[in-house]
Amino acid sequence: MADKKIKQLTPRTAAKRAAIHAFEKQAIDIVVLDLRQVTDFTDYFVICSGAVDVHVKAIYNHIEDHLRKIGWKPRHVEGTENSRWILMDYIDIIVNIFQPDARGYYSLERLWGDAKQVKIKELEK
């Protein structure tokens, strides 16, 4: 019976969990954007940064492992070779893990500036 609950996890909850798992690996500047009113290709972006390529890869592995355990498997993953920007496409959520220079260059928060930011109480101090 527990498996049915896992598979019914909403995209919003999955995005929040991805952000929390990034936080567990000391990701920097974690942001969750609600894109449902802005675009139709996904519901949520999770954006965060890791200091260097090894850190970015560790964040990616942690998120992927934990979301997989609750029934969420990425449809597509890019960027694991050099780990400057790893993109994890779960259809309803897209997780973006950047090194700081790549994040500044692509500036997704500015590009999707019309999207509402999702508050995550577990990440607030």
Reported pTM: 0.91
What pLDDT is attached to residue 97? 98
CA distance 16 to 85: 20
- pLDDT 10s digits, 39-87: 999 999 999 999 999 999 999 999 999 999 999 999 999 999 989 999 9
- Per-residue pLDDT at 123: 81
State residue 125's pLDDT score.
60
Match 């897209």 to its residue by tokens: 94
Q: Which two tokens stand for residue 85?
A: 């920007």
Instruction: State yes or no: pLDDT of 105 exceeds 70.
Output: yes
* Better pLDDT: 10 or 122: 10
> Pick from 59, 45, 23, 26: which is nearest to 107 by CA?
45
Q: Does domain 27-118 have CATH number 3.30.460.10?
A: yes
pLDDT in tens, 13-47: 999 999 999 999 999 999 999 999 999 999 999 99
Instruction: Measure the CA–CA gap between 98 and 106, rounded to whole angstroms.
Output: 10
